[in-house]
Amino acid sequence: MPFLKGGNLKLNGEVKGKSKIISENLKISDNAVFHRNVNYWNEKGTVDFKNSLLGATAKIDESLIQGQEEFSWQHLDWNRSNFLGIYIIPILIICINRNFR
């Protein structure tokens, strides 16, 4: 079962199986096609699936976001550590080396 998760998602292709989608901002293009049912959660509310549902239905599913807040905080902590390790620490090392020459 396809499972998509992202901040801004724009779907433009074909999905043949059942799917679950979580996003902050979900957009369905005119070329998108869903052959089976779609369960989704979108931070901005309902989504216009236009003519993309071929014998399928799209339903908002609040259960998809349960526990997502914890994931977001963990992800944020990793990004902060990554930023410190890649950018800040090398700059500090360079500055310290220049001062002790």
Domain-wise residue ranges, the chain: 1-66, 67-101
For tokens 């293009």, name the residue. 29
- The 10s digit of each residue's pLDDT in 79-95 is 556 666 677 777 778 88
- The 10s digit of each residue's pLDDT in 15-69 is 999 999 998 899 999 999 999 999 999 988 999 999 999 999 999 999 988 766 5
Which pLDDT band holds residue 71 (cuts at 50, 70, 90)? very low
d(CA 79, CA 83): 6
- This model's pTM is above 0.85: no
Is the alpha carbon torsion for 68, 69, 72, 74 positive or negative?
A: negative
